[in-house]
Amino acid sequence: MIGVLFNIFGRLPLGIGYLLADGLAFLAARIVRYRRKVILDNLRSSFPDMQDKEIKKICNRFYRFLADYFIETLRLGHMSDDEIKRRMTFENPHIIDDLTDRGKSVAIMLGHYCNWEWLSSLPLHLKGNADPSQIYHPLENAAADRAFARIRSRFGCNNVPMRDTLRYLTAKHNEGLTTVTGFIADQSPLYTSTHLWLDFLNHETGVFTGHEKIMRRYAGAMVYCHIERPRRGYYHCRFELICDDVTAVPEFQPTRTYFSKLEAQIIRTPHLWLWSHRRWKRPRPSTT
């Protein structure tokens, strides 16, 4: 049933889909009040000097964006190459090609910011001399997981479950292949996998470092994906090199740079980040 609904709504032109999104946003914000307390708590603690009127304005804009994100993601499964190229543009994909031409595997670092799903169209803009993949966390609902997997692989990206990341990239490396892998690394890790704490959005924040550890195995590169939303239905990505050889810089410096760049974007346009997830549900354990 989920797959059927995804298929039906995904076939709607975006203009019609956005009318549906407006209704979904109203329902989520005013009727269901979807995770409203989590969203407001996250915003207030991240921007303690901001007036509550502005906080609520960001919250309402976030609901509208979240509804758009959902409709845009369903539409992705039925977009032609020409349409996605028109709506999701890449300013400088040659940065990725230049690195892979040198035999470098690349970690593309992004957050739950703007429509991260549309970045799966990147293979349409690359030379094709590297294996493209994206790391994801499987959904609990099997039908929804299959539907999203189909959407995410629409333009040639391989979907790799988070638990299989090291196994998958090691196998590619052993085959002599370079890889281009998208990592969304702004989730809340378990304490057992937290090796770095840093200041992020006014919180002491435990962060994932597995992406950097893996790139260090292969002297890989890390690139930040700076994505913007010029207007509804359109996104633009500019790649920013973090380092072309992770082994040549101090430990965790690339991860710190990634979070610094992501934080700057969130502060500039806060409603485009995923405020509905409980990012700071695991405070730093006491050392006493």
* pLDDT tens string 205-229: 999 999 999 999 999 999 999 999 9
Residue 277 resides in a domain: no
H helix intervals, the chain: 2-10, 14-26, 36-46, 52-76, 81-87, 94-101, 142-152, 165-174, 210-217, 253-268
pLDDT, the chain, mean: 93
Q: What average pLDDT does this structure show over 108-121?
A: 96
Q: What average pLDDT does this structure show over 95-121?
A: 96
Tens of pLDDT along 159-194? Answer: 999 999 999 999 999 999 999 999 999 988 876 667
Residue 68 resides in a domain: no
Res 197 pLDDT > 90: yes
Residue 2 resides in a domain: no
Residue type at position 213: K
Instruction: Determine what percent of the chain is predicted with pLDDT higher than 70.
Output: 97
Tens of pLDDT along 124-143? Answer: 999 988 999 999 988 788 88
Q: What average pLDDT does this structure show over 73-80?
A: 93
The DSSP 8-state label assigned to residue 273 in this structure reads B
- The neighbour count for residue 42, using CB atoms within 10 Å, is 24
Q: What average pLDDT does this structure show over 86-98?
A: 97
Residue 195 resides in a domain: yes
Can you tell me the distance from the alpha carbon of 221 to that of 156, in angstroms, rounded to the nearest whole number?
A: 21
Residue 237 resides in a domain: yes
Better-scored residue on pLDDT, 68 or 189: 68
**Token couple for 66:** 């979240």
Residue 166 resides in a domain: yes
Residues in the chain: 288
* DSSP structure string for 22-75: HHHHHIIIIIS-TTHHHHHHHHHHH-TTS-HHHHHHHHHHHHHHHHHHHHHHHH
Predicted confidence at residue 2, as pLDDT, reads: 57
Domain containing residue 110: 81-272
Residue 169 resides in a domain: yes
Q: How confident is the model at residue 283 (pLDDT cuts 50, 70, 90)?
A: confident
Q: What average pLDDT does this structure show over 10-35?
A: 94
* DSSP structure string for 86-114: HHEEES-THHHHHHHHTT--EEEEE-SBS
Res 7 pLDDT > 80: no
Number of domains in the chain: 1
pTM, rounded to two decimals: 0.94
